[in-house]
Amino acid sequence: MSTTADRIPAASTPMTREHKKVILASSLGTVFEWYDFYLYGSLAAVIAVHFFSALPPSSAFIMALLTFAAGFAVRPFGAIVFGRLGDLIGRKYTFLITIVIMGVSTFLVGVLPTYDTIGMAAPILLVVLRCLQGLALGGEYGGAATYVAEHAPPGKRGLYTSFIQTTATVGLFLSLLVILGVRTLLGEEAFREWGWRIPFLISFLLLVISIWIRMQLNESPLFRKMKEEGTRSKAPLTESFGNWSNGKIVLLALLGATAGQAVVWYAGQFYALFFMTQTLKVDAVTANLFIAAALAIATGGFILFGWLSDKIGRKPIIMAGCLLAMLTYFPIFKGLTHYANPALERAMATSPGVVIADPSDCSFQFVPGELKSHVKFNNSCDIVKNLLNQRSVTYTNQDAAPGSLARVKIGDTEIQSVDLSRMTPEEAQAAQAKLTADVTAAIDAAGYPKTADNSQMNKPMVLLLLTILVLYVTMVYGPIAAWLVELFPTRIRYTSMSLPYHIGNGWFGGFLPTTAFAVVLLTGNIYSGLWYPIIVAGMTFIIGSLFLRETKDVDISK
């Protein structure tokens, strides 16, 4: 009589129809979850206008990115909650729950009233929905990766799980295509006014399809084997994190694998998109088309590097991806400036700005004031830095006497800032308008372009550089699921692998755009935000190379 263990495929087993069904069903459902999650990131600039209109443009965009990051911040908690359920009741039913939470939350974003309609309740509710999305995604990925890996034959786990790895990029690609389609159909004005809601509303249809797909799946053979033998963990959280032998592997997996993988992923896709639109002033449609094309070209790399990891190992490929990112991010992003907006590059070289200010007057604008009381950055230093940042003017900082008002030099022009906090609303409005006009005139005279000129853009080179960034993503992300699955025992695998993955991606990766742009605003150098992913990738390269083991040949049935 055959047992569940007998039905676990052998190393020589080809990809059967059942295998294909498992991979397709798991992957499609996960694609839709990523689509839901990344709609917000792709529309951060539009959402900033509708939900954070009480703030200056630069601060509103940073706040929108923080709300985007809020979804990442709670992902580890979703990993704990749903990882425990997955190890207790099974993989299949757990990620059925997660997909319902994700789909409903995304649909509600599409019908949420804006700040102009319901005031502060709008951004608060938006943050709540983003947190629900993050909780759902925190339980989704570990379940899908574990489920597919536990169906895969030994020696093919890298290949099989690499299809799950494509889903994050495919979900992003799908969200970009839907946004571009709606944008083109409605026109930019209508899209910014109300059409941005349509991609969120479409998620309800995707939710129905996803639930139907997930209902077709059976439980994983290794979990069924544990259930039949009565060897399931009764306390997955305690076994995963309450003893040092497993807790040490969780910590090493975070610092030596997923943290670096995360920053390379988000730098290569999201930060590249934000850099194109916010810094290089490439119009949103063109930038999204570039990213979508790069994703289409390079997505096959997930499968390639997943397959290759079955041959040479997970560790060397992921470490190589981190090392390449560390060594080449600065030249690649400088190359994007050179080829996408050469006029900006010339202005930065010939007419850099100088902000002369009392250091105590300058804020680190990571969190733009207390939103609940509508506090803005009204100090003289912060005002001019926001004006310069809006036009991507590179500048250096120079200390001034304590208590003095900030001044800004652009080329041969010097302008004194104002301190709006000391003025009446009427005086502040007039002073802000005059300062903005004066600074804008100086920026225009220095040759800083308002937008990138598509006729001056070297499109093949821009696409090549973006494709290289996505290829780095495929190197670090293609083999990561197999590596994490193989690091932990079956009885606590869902819980143990989910937490380091979502802390790495949710915290180290999710806060990358916000942190990078805040650093740029502080330093005045449009490339300084790259130090964040470079340092984290370097940390992962060192820790992973020295302390994490190769796992491609381990037996995961135990």
- Tell me whether residue 213 is in a domain: yes
Q: Report the distance separating Cα 358 and Cα 369, nearest Å.
A: 19
- Tell me whether residue 11 is in a domain: no
Q: Residue 253: what pLDDT?
A: 95
Residues 63, 209 within the same domain = yes
Domain boundaries, position 49: 16-340+455-547
CATH number at residue 213: 1.20.1250.20
Mean pLDDT of 257-264: 96
pTM of structure: 0.83
Q: Report the distance separating Cα 456 and Cα 436, nearest Å.
A: 28
- Tell me whether residue 506 is in a domain: yes
The dihedral formed by the CA atoms of 138, 140, 141 and 144, expressed in degrees to the nearest 10: 160
Q: Please give the helix or strand (H or E) that residue 388 lies within, else none.
A: helix 380-390
Task: Pick the more confident residue, 416 or 517.
Answer: 416
Encoded amino acid at 115, one letter: Y
> pLDDT-based confidence at 3, cuts 50/70/90?
very low
Q: How many CB atoms lie within 10 A of CB 88?
A: 15
CB of 269 closer than 8 Å to CB of 512: no
Task: Pick the more confident residue, 367 or 283.
Answer: 283
Reported residue count of the chain is 558
Q: Say if residue 7's pLDDT is above 60.
A: no
- Tell me whether residue 4 is in a domain: no
Task: Pick the more confident residue, 32 or 489.
Answer: 489
Mean pLDDT of 262-283: 92
Mean pLDDT of 414-419: 90
> pLDDT-based confidence at 369, cuts 50/70/90?
very low
Q: Say if residue 434's pLDDT is above 50.
A: yes
Q: Say if residue 289's pLDDT is above 80.
A: yes
Mean pLDDT of 272-278: 91
Please report the sign of the dihedral spanned by the C-alpha atoms of residue 195, residue 196, residue 201, residue 207: positive
Q: Residue 312: what pLDDT?
A: 96
Measured CA to CA in angstroms, residue 485 lies from 145, 250, 304, 518 at distances of: 8, 11, 19, 35
DSSP string across 322-346? HHHHHHHHHHHHHHHHHHH-HHHHH
Residues 335, 355 within the same domain = no
Give percent of the chain with pLDDT exceeding 70.
88
Burial class (CB in 10 A: 0-12, 13-18, 19+), 245: exposed
Q: Report the distance separating Cα 385 and Cα 373, nearest Å.
A: 22
Q: Residue 95: what pLDDT?
A: 74
Mean pLDDT of 99-126: 86
Q: What are phi and psi of 416, to 5 degrees?
A: -90, 135
Task: Pick the more confident residue, 222 or 442.
Answer: 442
3-state SS string over 274-287?
A: HHHHHHCCCCHHHH
- Tell me whether residue 10 is in a domain: no
The dihedral formed by the CA atoms of 121, 123, 125 and 127, expressed in degrees to the nearest 10: -150
Helix (H, G, I), strand (E, B) or coil at 510: coil
Q: Could you tell me the two tokens for 301?
A: 């790399």
> pLDDT-based confidence at 323, cuts 50/70/90?
very high
Residues 38, 91 within the same domain = yes
Residues 355, 333 within the same domain = no
pLDDT in tens, 9-48: 454 556 667 777 778 777 777 787 778 767 877 787 788 7
Please give the tally of structural domains in the chain. 2
Q: Residue 43: what pLDDT?
A: 82
- Looking at the DSSP bridge assignments, the partners of residue 397 are 355
Residues 31, 150 within the same domain = yes
Mean pLDDT of 431-444: 92
pLDDT in tens, 491-548: 888 888 888 988 888 789 878 887 888 888 888 899 999 999 999 999 999 999 999 9
Burial class (CB in 10 A: 0-12, 13-18, 19+), 424: exposed
Encoded amino acid at 540, one letter: T
CATH number at residue 358: 3.40.30
Q: What are phi and psi of 220, to 5 degrees?
A: -65, 150
Measured CA to CA in angstroms, residue 499 lies from 77, 149, 166, 247 at distances of: 8, 17, 20, 11
Q: Say if residue 550's pLDDT is above 90.
A: yes
Residues 90, 201 within the same domain = yes
Last residue of a domain, one of 445, 469, 489: 445
Residues 6 or more apart whose CB falls under 8 angstroms from that of 15 comprise 156, 160
Residues 242, 284 within the same domain = yes
Strands 395-399 and 353-357: parallel
Q: Residue 120: what pLDDT?
A: 80
Residues 418, 534 within the same domain = no
- Looking at the DSSP bridge assignments, the partners of residue 355 are 397, 408
Strands 413-416 and 407-410: antiparallel
DSSP code of 232? Answer: -
Measured CA to CA in angstroms, residue 330 lies from 73, 101, 429, 465 at distances of: 27, 39, 39, 12
358: left (phi over 0), alpha (psi -120 to 50) or beta: beta
Q: Residue 411: what pLDDT?
A: 82
DSSP code of 112? Answer: -
Q: Residue 542: what pLDDT?
A: 98
- Tell me whether residue 552 is in a domain: no
DSSP code of 258? Answer: I
Residues 208, 229 within the same domain = yes
Average pLDDT, the chain: 84
Last residue of a domain, one of 445, 467, 501: 445
Q: Report the distance separating Cα 351 and Cα 197, nearest Å.
A: 41
Q: How many CB atoms lie within 10 A of CB 468?
A: 17
Task: Pick the more confident residue, 218 or 159.
Answer: 159
Q: Residue 35: what pLDDT?
A: 82
Q: Could you tell me the two tokens for 345?
A: 């590059």
Strand order in the sheet with 353-357: 395-399, 353-357, 407-410, 413-416
Residues 269, 386 within the same domain = no
Mean pLDDT of 434-446: 93
Residues 21, 135 within the same domain = yes
Q: Residue 290: what pLDDT?
A: 94
Last residue of a domain, one of 445, 469, 501: 445
Task: Pick the more confident residue, 54 or 473.
Answer: 473
Q: Residue 118: what pLDDT?
A: 86
Mean pLDDT of 52-81: 73
Q: Report the distance separating Cα 557 and Cα 6, nearest Å.
A: 11
Q: Residue 427: what pLDDT?
A: 86
Q: Report the distance separating Cα 294 and Cα 302, nearest Å.
A: 13
> pLDDT-based confidence at 1, cuts 50/70/90?
very low
Encoded amino acid at 73, one letter: A
Strands (E), 332-489: 353-357, 395-399, 407-410, 413-416
- Tell me whether residue 436 is in a domain: yes
Mean pLDDT of 277-304: 91
Mean pLDDT of 132-136: 86
Residues 268, 165 within the same domain = yes
- Tell me whether residue 45 is in a domain: yes
Q: Report the distance separating Cα 328 and Cα 554, nearest Å.
A: 34
| CA-based nearest residue to 429, from 390, 391, 376, 381 | 376
Q: Report the distance separating Cα 293 and Cα 270, nearest Å.
A: 14
